[in-house]
Amino acid sequence: NAGVTQTPKFQVLKTGQSMTLQCAQDMNHNSMYWYRQDPGMGLRLIYYSASEGTTDKGEVPNGYNVSRLNKREFSLRLESAAPSQTSVYFCASSPGLHYEQYFGPGTRLTVT
Amino acid sequence: QQQVKQSPQSLIVQKGGISIINCAYENTAFDYFPWYQQFPGKGPALLIAIRPDVSEKKEGRFTISFNKSAKQFSLHIMDSQPGDSATYFCAANPTGTASKLTFGTGTRLQVTL
């Protein structure tokens, strides 16, 4: 039981490049989330998926897209990376009926 | 818009002392208030949580106090230990949503020997 896994752990991109961050959970959770964490800003919700087949914008969705591939997987795509997207990205999942969120280990992304 | 305000930004406590972190919220339609603990290089992990129908919840050395009328809630860590050194985030969940948490900005706690 690995919980929430994220790949890659680290990534460096040049401005304008694209990439997809992968997230998977093996807890049979309904809801999944993508956050970014910046110094002094806490965690801010980018997108979330309340259940398989649905996605919704969070607080800071601009510049990102998501795909809920199936119940296990929820990916985050940066189509044209910008230096302002330099951050640590966390994926999380939740059973849905309860409120506990379980976080992955994070992806540290640097855009130069 | 910051709906959950957290203070202090950083905190240094001696071993055995009490660590207190405060949060205040601006929206009355929150129905769940968790606290998360994050160690360097790791993802946040749920520490303890409270719902507004109780004023206090205790789990071991960790206690949440909740004041509904003041829209404030706080985390108390009794007998603080060096292993408690981490960043702590409060959060609030809007009523009726599927775990759509709003987080505070975090408090970096350092417990010294």
| pLDDT tens for each residue of B1-49 | 558 999 999 999 999 999 999 999 987 688 889 999 999 999 999 999 9
User: Minimum mean pLDDT among A14-23, A92-101, B81-90: which range?
Assistant: A92-101
Residue-level pLDDT at A2: 82
Say how far apart CA A38 and CA B94 lie, in whole Å. 23
By DSSP bridging, strand B72-77 and strand A31-38 are: unpaired
Cβ partners under 8 Å of residue B97, min gap 6: none
Say how far apart CA A101 and CA B10 lie, in whole Å. 24
- Portion 65-84 of A in contact with B at CB < 8 A: none
Segment B88-99 shows an average pLDDT of 82
> How many CA atoms does the CB half-sphere of B1 hold within 13 Å?
4
Instruction: List the single residue in A with minimal CA-CA distance to B108.
Output: A40
Q: Do B100 and A104 touch (CB under 8 A)?
A: no
B30 vs A82, more confident? A82
Instruction: List the single residue in A with minimal CA-CA distance to B48.
Output: A100
| pLDDT tens for each residue of A15-41 | 999 999 999 999 999 999 999 999 888
| pLDDT tens for each residue of A42-73 | 899 999 998 888 999 998 999 999 999 899 99
Residue-level pLDDT at A98: 58
Q: Do A101 and B101 touch (CB under 8 A)?
A: yes
Residue numbers in A near B103 (CB within 8 A): 42-44
